[in-house]
Structure 1
Amino acid sequence: MNAGEALRLLKQEGYKQTDKREDILEIFSDSSGYLSARDVLTQLQSSYDRLSFDTIYRNLSLFVQLGILEETELDGEKHYQMRCEGEHHHHLICKKCGKTEMVDLCPMEILGSSKHFVITGHKFEIYGYCQNCQ
């Protein structure tokens, strides 16, 4: 998903298109990995003097709810990235810079399914350090 598609989805769902939302979505659209709310606030502070964490968190939460952003937790803090498009896959995630790399192998194919449990979804992430951060 890119910023334009995300803004169309916001409008379709009845949400206002604001300058802050546009800028937040552009930050994620230009990023190659996960970002924290602090990362977003740092990038926007020069444009919006009175921008608060509350505003950032409310928008990030809305974007996750609408399926625009994906969410993960790194060292006890939530991080976000644009929702991936395409085939089902999982991620390697750098714990230092948040960069992600796709993994095509799905552990559910190895684990199989249960006769007594209906699986409705799963998430598989591997944490470590990318080549630049090692």
Structure 2
Amino acid sequence: MTVEEALQILKERGFKYTGKREEIIRICAAEKRYLSARDIMEKIKEMYPNLSFDTVYRNISTFVQLGILEETELEGEGKFRLACSVDGDHHHHVICTVCGKTLSLPDCPMSILHAVPDEFQVTGHKFEIYGTCKECRTH
């Protein structure tokens, strides 16, 4: 997803454009990794020194609900990144637990899982692989 696509989603859903919202999206777009709300706050406070953490977190939550940001949990903390695609293309990630870098996996493990009982209808799932990327292993 691009910044422009994310802003278009906001517009289509009736959310007011603000420079702060755009900057949060730009911060997430610039990083190819998951960021905590505090990471985002640290990066945006230079431009908006009076912006509250609650405002940043509320916007992040809205962006997750709209599918603009993807969310995961690392070490008990929510982490966020710009969604990979606009159309919700189904995919999973390998995530570095040191730097948060992510790579998409080409296949979904649900395609080979036949153990779900017939009387159970799957409505969603989440699959992530955690490890250490090459750059973090060499430091």
Unaligned runs of 5+ in 2: none
> Aligned to 1:93, what secondary structure does the other structure show?
strand
- Amino-acid identity (%): 54
- 4+ residue runs of structure 1 moved beyond 4 angstroms? none
CA distance in 1, matches of 2:40, 2:104: 23
Deviations 1:22-45 (A, max 9, x none): 100111111111111111111111
Q: CA deviation at 1:102?
A: 1.2
Query: Which of 94, 109, 112 is matched with 2:111 structurally?
Result: 109
Query: Which of 88, 93, 115 is matched with 1:91 structurally?
Result: 93
Q: CA deviation at 1:46?
A: 1.0
Matched residue type, 2:23: D
Alignment of 1:1-134 (within 5 A): 1-85=1-85, 87-112=89-114, 113-134=116-137
Q: TM-score, normalised by structure 1?
A: 0.94
Q: TM-score, normalised by structure 2?
A: 0.91
Give the CA RMSD over aligned residues: 1.3
CA distance in 1, matches of 2:72, 2:17: 25
Unaligned runs of 5+ in 1: none
Deviations 1:14-68 (A, max 9, x none): 1111010010011111111111111111111111111221011100000001111
